[in-house]
Structure 1
Amino acid sequence: AARERWKLLGRALKQRATNGKVEAVSVRRFESFGLLKTRKAREDDTIPTEREGANKEDAKWFQYSCDLVPNFKMDIRQLGGSFTYEALIGFNNTGNVCIWPSEEVLTYYCLKNKEIFRNQRVCELGGGMTCLAGVAVAIASAAEEVVLTDGNEKSVENVEQIVQRNSAQFGDTRVACQVLKWDEQDRVDRLTGVYDHVICADCLFFDQYRQPLVDCIFRILKPNGVATIFAPRRNQTLEDFCRRAEPFFRVATVENYEEVVWALHLKLQTEDRDRYNPDIHYPVMLSLTKQ
């Protein structure tokens, strides 16, 4: 799903890029709600992990923190400040250029509500190159287990490096990474009824993936398990996902789920209308409870 996101943007960018490079800031008009603090890792922090290969010079480590959780920090591996169109949609670099607003908000929400994950088995679906929210849950929540997944092998390789880098902070929480494609029935079947909680950000936009995502979530959740999903409405794609989910889940759609995010949303609509489009930038919260 992350790769398809970049393909969509890449097709538009290819017609506009004249020098073969596009600065990351130009990819999206609106980039962040500013909920997380980010800084480049200090030089003495940038110890290469065992799995980093020949292209490690193209990646940068950043440290994320959040005022909600004192002393919380996590190191996340991302690409540098610019990239070619080919890198934008390339298999090696998918999802590793920047953090999307829905991922940012999901991470913030999970940190604010970290107690709901205590002693839970948690799975992040479609986490891309960072699995930002899942890593945050693994560090902050005292979950029993957190499994970080994406359908792209290179994404999962990058997440494995992030897990290795942050492993000292996981405490008793078991953390694992794996490739998981929602429509690969055999692999999904092995996880039937395993998880108490599924988290997911901005994975609803392509028609061919919505039904497999519904089926995957239903399969891997325990009875009465919950999926927390953040995604923009984006041309009725969220509504279509909800219609597909309703036969299997109790579905709750929440617009105003957190006061800080809501206040920023209202402010952006009046003060930054040229860049901020709620239909594609404001993450709506979906809560799916398995029936």
Structure 2
Amino acid sequence: MENRKKEKASSLRWKILSNALLRHRSPSNQDENSEMGIKQISRRTTHGFNLIPSHIVDDDECDSNKCDVCVCYTLPIPCTLQLFLKQRVDNHADLSDFEICNRYNIDNTGLVCNWPSEDVLAHYCISHSDMFRSKKVIELGSGYGLAGFVIAAVTEASEVVISDGNPQVVNYTQRNIETNRGAFGDTIVKSMMLHWNQEEVFNDADTFDIIVASDCTFFKDFHRGLAGIVKKLLSKSGSSEAIFLSPKRGDSLDLFLEVVRENGLHFSVTENYDTEVLKRHDGFLNGEDKDSWPSYEKEIKCKSIPPTQDMS
């Protein structure tokens, strides 16, 4: 009997979408070859860098809504602190999600999971907590906003705004702010719906000391809007900066940096910015932990890009 030919990547990606939309389908309908192929082609990962330990906890509200889970993130700081973030069940999607994407000209990635780059950004913010003290901070394209919540909980920032262009994501953010209100001390924490292409940013223009974002440079169509909103939001009085943790993703990062330069923003790129991230990156790359990240590639490791206002 001839060995079955390997399925094309495009076919496997359609099966990923099918699994999400037809989530009640019996696993027996999926053959082993397809399952293994999907694991190899998917960029979705279960554990990521695992820099912020997490586990699912029982939650009455989540139990009544089978689409959601409550994830407890334990922050590795001297006084152990836990954050509880409600988010979507893995591999869950509805057609209404894609209707909202079309209506608001956004992507759906923020609802999928807490992405590895967000985990790395949250770890980076804990390691550099002093830089946020008494600063007004905004996270762009936050998804579930782990980094924004970490900044609010451990850095003594004066204000943290967690923003996304997807109204469903912003709804989760607001619910999670209410759930974790006691963890923020005197820091003001807000959710905000912010589309990078919107003309008006109301009272928030020129007011932020620090912008943070993770893996937001992937979609090339959004580059100009993203660079433009960074320039609008950064404070022009004193020093201000935007910290992006971004995988290379082909030529997407390089093209974004060209747009950043065109907008009159200075930037530098740092690859080896954290010893623990580098250690785990090398471990994945050398195949030391294949079970948790079978499709790991060199480009997945995030680079740190801090664009700052051109004050000249």
Q: TM-score, normalised by structure 2?
A: 0.79
Deviates further, 146-155 or 189-198 = 189-198
1:62 aligned to 2:71?
A: yes
Letter in 2 for 1:225: S
Match of 1:208 in 2: 221
1:263 aligned to 2:257?
A: no
Higher RCO structure (Cα 8 Å, ≥6 apart): 1
- The 1:119/1:161 distance shift into structure 2, 3 A limit, reads same
Q: For residues 190-243 of structure 1, what are the alpha-carbon distances to aligned partners after superposition, in whole Å with 9 as ceiling and x for unaligned? A: 322110000001111112111111110011101231100011100111111111
> How many Å separate the matches in 2 of 1:161 and 1:18?
29
Letter in 1 for 2:295: R
Match of 1:102 in 2: 117
- Report the alpha carbon displacement of residue 28 of structure 1 after superposing the two structures with TM: 2.8
Q: For residues 65-108 of structure 1, what are the alpha-carbon distances to aligned partners after superposition, in whole Å with 9 as ceiling and x for unaligned? A: 13245312111111224425748756497523321111110011
- Report the alpha carbon displacement of residue 114 of structure 1 after superposing the two structures with TM: 1.1
Q: Quick check: 1:88–1:94 contact (8 Å CA) kept in 2?
A: no
- The 1:77/1:11 distance shift into structure 2, 3 A limit, reads farther
Q: Quick check: 1:10–1:89 contact (8 Å CA) kept in 2?
A: no
Match of 1:3 in 2: none
- Report the alpha carbon displacement of residue 266 of structure 1 after superposing the two structures with TM: 1.5
> How many Å separate the matches in 1 of 2:270 and 2:140?
20
- Report the alpha carbon displacement of residue 276 of structure 1 after superposing the two structures with TM: 0.8
Match of 1:219 in 2: 232
> How many Å separate the matches in 2 of 1:17 and 1:58?
17
Match of 2:33 in 1: none
Which runs of 5 or more structure 1 residues have no equivalent in the other structure? 1-8
Identity %: 25
Which runs of 5 or more structure 2 residues have no equivalent in the other structure? 1-8, 28-37, 102-107
Please give the secondary structure, in 2, of the residue aligned with 1:61: strand
Q: Quick check: 1:13–1:85 contact (8 Å CA) kept in 2?
A: no
> How many Å separate the matches in 2 of 1:219 and 1:211?
12
- What count of residue pairs does the alignment treat as equivalent? 273
Please give the secondary structure, in 1, of the residue aligned with 2:209: strand
Letter in 1 for 2:13: L
Q: TM-score, normalised by structure 1?
A: 0.84
Aligned residue among 265, 288, 298 for 1:249: 265
Q: Quick check: 1:94–1:155 contact (8 Å CA) kept in 2?
A: no
Please give the secondary structure, in 2, of the residue aligned with 1:193: coil
Aligned residue among 296, 299, 302 for 1:276: 296
> How many Å separate the matches in 1 of 2:216 and 2:18?
30
> How many Å separate the matches in 2 of 1:285 and 1:259?
13
Please give the secondary structure, in 2, of the residue aligned with 1:185: coil
Please give the secondary structure, in 2, of the residue aligned with 1:190: helix
> How many Å separate the matches in 2 of 1:229 and 1:36?
18
Q: Quick check: 1:35–1:66 contact (8 Å CA) kept in 2?
A: no
The structure with the greater share of residues assigned to strand is: 1
Q: Quick check: 1:58–1:80 contact (8 Å CA) kept in 2?
A: yes
Larger radius of gyration: 2
1:182 aligned to 2:196?
A: yes
Letter in 2 for 1:14: W
1:163 aligned to 2:177?
A: yes
- The 1:256/1:55 distance shift into structure 2, 3 A limit, reads same
Please give the secondary structure, in 2, of the residue aligned with 1:230: strand
- Report the alpha carbon displacement of residue 33 of structure 1 after superposing the two structures with TM: 0.8
- The 1:162/1:17 distance shift into structure 2, 3 A limit, reads closer
Please give the secondary structure, in 1, of the residue aligned with 2:243: strand
Match of 1:193 in 2: 206
- Report the alpha carbon displacement of residue 151 of structure 1 after superposing the two structures with TM: 0.5
Q: Aligned ranges for residues 149-160 of structure 1 at < 5 Å?
A: 149-160=163-174
Letter in 2 for 1:228: I
Match of 2:148 in 1: 134
Letter in 2 for 1:249: L
